[in-house]
Every structure is written in structure tokens, then in C-alpha cells.
A and B are shown apart, each in its own frame.
Chain A
Amino acid sequence: MREIAYEDIVKAVKNMVIHTATNLPDDALKKLKEAHEKEKSPVAKKVLEQLLENAKIAKDEKRPLCQDTGLAVYFVKVGQDVKITGGLLKNAINEGTEQGYIEGYLRASTCDCFSRENLKDKIGYNLPAVIHIDLVEGDKIEIEYAAKGGGSENVSRARVLAPAQGRQGVIDFVKDVISEAGPNPCPPIIVGVGIGGTFEKAAISSKHALFREAGKPHPDPDVAEFEKELLFELNKLGIGAMGMGGTETVLAVHVEKNPCHIASLPVSVNVQCHSSRHSHITL
């Protein structure tokens, strides 16, 4: 058994949270630059220019890229041969999140669903984090992190289609969701699509799809082909940067596909805004 100390997890998570808020990762930056080059609308091109400048200011002056510093979402893979000493893994991640959000001058955005009261004094600063844990082989802990803003989460949708609707049904659903979202999720966006499994499996898959390096095709060539087709279809919508009209609406489409029940075809669309703040660490 390899031992990993609770305190080391807290520290690593805290540093990752602070870094991610001000540094747009290379994959997102590269995609934004490509979009800026390709964009045909002068208005949208100007928006993209602002976004690139914003990324530079954020990095150079250590200012959060966006004022919505998100809810903290984690996908964690814990090796079966790891023993965590000094406390629970979930608590360590929450503690690191809270410290990172406070020390990084980030926003506390969690509230009660109905009273809308901010929970920073009741549960913790921007807590609780959303944590998905999976047990895997090995003696390491891998933590994938995203700071997920509300604007793009609000337009995300899930539905269980009839099997007969098939591939085309999925395309139509995704297109409807993105078309309806229009300017609201801060385009250009990255679209995560989870297909198959059960209702919640599709939703989690669509979220996890957003953690992939932007634009990296799915390893299965058929799925990769489907991603390409969706990307092409979605960019026909003409929504453009910040919805002001343009050719570059979607930076990448990532699909995760699972086997499903003979009676159903679940599909979930999770949208990520251009401020795709994610990181990962291995301990």
C-alpha cells in the first residue's frame, strides 16, 4: 500500500484551484486562436479578440478569467493500492477547494436551492464541491478538475429518446439544445454529449466529455466521425461569439458513448463556455 497524506491532497487541490482560475489551459487557448483566425463576422472577431486579451490579462495579472469562478467539479480516480492517511478523500478535496477559493479571491457561488441564501458561512466557502470518485488499478490518485460556470450549465439538457430516433435523433436533439441556448452560454462553446447508459450515466458522461483536451477526437473512429459531423452541423447555426452572429460557434464536440437498455436511447448535452477552466494532477 502506498500512503498519501490528507494534507498533501488539500495542498495540491488548493494550488490547482488557484492556478486554474487565472490560467486558460493551452487547449482552450489554441481553439480560441483558431476560431479568431477563421471567424468571418467582424463583430464576432472583435469579441474573440477581447477573449484572447482577457486570457492574457488574467494570466499576467493573476486576475480570475471570469467573475463566475464556478462550482468546483472533480473526477477522481483512486488506485486500489493507495491508502489515504489522516482523513477522508472527499473532505480533503473540499478543504482544498475552500482554501483555494478564499486565497485566490474567487467567488463563493453555492447557495440553497430555495432560499437562495449563500452557503459560505453554513457549509463552507464555495462548498460543497461536486465530486465523482472511481476506484481503479494502481497506487496513484488522479484528480481532474473543472471550475464550472452557471451560464453554460443552465442551457444543458438531458432526454431519453426512443430507440427508433437513432443517430439522427441525437443530432437533432443536440442541435435544438444549442440553437435554443443561443448567446446565453457565452459562445464559442465546447459541447459534451453523453449517449447511452441510463439517464444519469448519460448526464455524467456528457460532463466527463468536457474534461477531455479540447478537440482531441474520441479514440473510436466511429465516435470521432460522429463528433466531426455534429461540429459541422452546429456551426451552421450561425450563433457566433457571444451570440452576435458568426461562423465559429462551437470550438469542439466531445462524445462519450455507452451501451444502453434495449428500450431506450438516453442522451445528455452538457455545455462548456469558452472559459474552459480545467486541470488535472496525479498524486
Chain B
Amino acid sequence: MSQVHYLTTPLSDEDVKNLKAGDIVYLSGTIFTARDAAHKRLVDLIENRGELPFQLDGAVIYFVGPTPPKPGEPIGSAGPTTSYRMDSYSPILIKHGLKGMIGKGKRNQVVKDACKEYKAVYFGATGGAGALLGKLIKEAKVIAYEELGPEAIRMLRVENFPVTVINDAYGNDLYEEGRKLYEVKD
């Protein structure tokens, strides 16, 4: 049965080991946003031994490109974007300490294997619930690549941000298992 967890970032190996595909997690603390363009730069930095704009150890990255904030608000609507576009970059970040990713949609086997080997998880947030999820972001600050606009890296402070474990550190995949339960075969 799916369990409910309340976790605060950064995540430890222990935190990750307690999570199973299908569990619901309410995340609080600091998370970082990045999409394709920012991922490419992070990976280039790692390969060239440059200094990263944030601590990767225990970090959670949220794949999101928010709408511009209205005056007086930290951020606009901010739901997850499709994750597979980050598949070629995520394993390198996981190897260097990344513990969680939040997005929507399937990941490839290489990412799933990296989650298993280095103890990381992939969370799904509800796609298209940008208004609701944006409201749970209490602070947002661009910390790198401002010129990328919606794709810049932001530091977000979240409170009880609801996500579901899709890929855990044991090789389970909620998309595959959930679907099997409801599939009607002819």
C-alpha cells in the first residue's frame, strides 16, 4: 500500500531508501528548477570541473518553466514539464549527488538504473496543476542563467509540495505497475 511521507530537503540516502513507487511525499525546504538548457550547462560544468551554481549533494531538481510572476508574487504557475528531455543529463547529476527529480512522464532505463545504483528517486507532480502547485512555492530566486528566461535556474522554497514516487531506488516504476492493474486485455 502506498505510504505518505513528509520530507525536508536536502534528502539523505536513508530518506530515499524509505520511499517506494506509489508513495505520496509532501516536500518542504529548498529545491532547484532546471529544464533542458540549464541541464546542459550543469553537465558541461561537471565535465569541465567548474563550480556549480548550487550544492548538488542531496538536492532535488524540479523540471519546470514557470509563467512570469504577477507583481508581489514569488512565481507564476509552476507545474512539471515532461521529463524525458532531461534523460541524457540526469544520470550524470545523480552520480554527483542529486537525490530527487520532480517532473512528469516516463524516464528511460539509464535514469532508472542510476536511481538504483546511486540511491535517487524520480517524483511525479500533477501536470497541468500549475496554479495549485505555484501557490505552494513560497519564495523563488533566480540563481543562474537569468538570460534563459523561463529556463533559468531558480531556488525555490516550498511547503508541503505534493509529489508521488514514480521510480524508486529499487527499480520499481509506478507508470508500469499502475497501468497493469487497470489494463483490460482482449
Contact = CB atoms under 8 A, between A and B. Distances in A.
Interface residues of A, number: 50
Nearest to B184: A236
A119 B136 CA distance: 30
Interface in B72-86: 76-79, 81-82, 84
Contacts of A236: 183-186
B180 interface: yes
B131 A64 contact: yes
A63 interface: yes
B53 interface: no
Contact of B82 (A58, A63, A64, A154): A154
Interface in B108-129: 124, 126-129
Contact of B134 (A40, A67, A275): A67
Interface string A212-244: 000000000000000000000000111110111
A65 to B, nearest CB: 6
Contacts of A118: 149
Given A107-B67, A151-B105, A65 B77 contact: yes
Contacts of A116: 36-37
A118 B150 CA distance: 10
Q: Specify which of B64, B69, B70, B179 lies most central, judged by the most chain A CB atoms within 10 Å of its CB.
A: B179
Interface stretch (A9-17, A48-56, A89-97, A198-206): A48-56
Contact of A240 (B67, B131, B149, B179): B179
Contact of B182 (A240, A273, A274): A240
B131 A41 contact: no
Interface in A126-153: 149-151
A128 to B, nearest CB: 18
B130 A67 contact: yes
Counting chain A CB atoms within 10 Å of each CB, the highest count among B37, B126, B184 belongs to: B126
A257 interface: no
Interface residues of B, number: 47
A50 B132 contact: yes
Nearest to A60: B131
A107 B150 CA distance: 8
A243 B182 contact: no
B95 interface: no
Given A151-B104, A242-B126, A66 B82 contact: no
B164 A244 contact: yes
Contact of B22 (A43, A67, A120, A238): A43
B123 to A, nearest CB: 12
Interface in B16-53: 22, 36-37
B104 A242 contact: yes
Interface stretch (B6-14, B138-146, B153-161, B170-178): B170-178
Q: Among A22, A41, A240, A242, which residue has the most Cβ atoms of chain B within 10 A?
A: A242
B182 A245 contact: yes
17 contacts: A43-B164, A44-B178, A53-B129, A57-B132, A61-B131, A65-B77, A68-B130, A107-B150, A151-B104, A182-B106, A183-B106, A236-B183, A237-B183, A240-B182, A243-B105, A243-B178, A245-B179
Interface of B: 2, 22, 36-37, 64-70, 76-79, 81-82, 84, 104-106, 124, 126-132, 134-135, 149-150, 162, 164, 174-175, 177-186
Interface of A: 22, 40-41, 43-44, 47, 50-51, 53-54, 57-58, 61, 63-69, 105-109, 116, 118, 120, 149-151, 154, 182-184, 186, 236-240, 242-247, 273-275
4 closest A-B pairs by CB: A245-B178, A238-B182, A238-B183, A186-B127
Given A50-B126, A61-B131, 19 more contacts: A47-B126, A51-B126, A53-B132, A63-B135, A64-B67, A65-B128, A67-B64, A67-B77, A106-B67, A107-B66, A116-B36, A182-B175, A184-B84, A239-B179, A243-B124, A243-B179, A244-B174, A245-B177, A275-B128
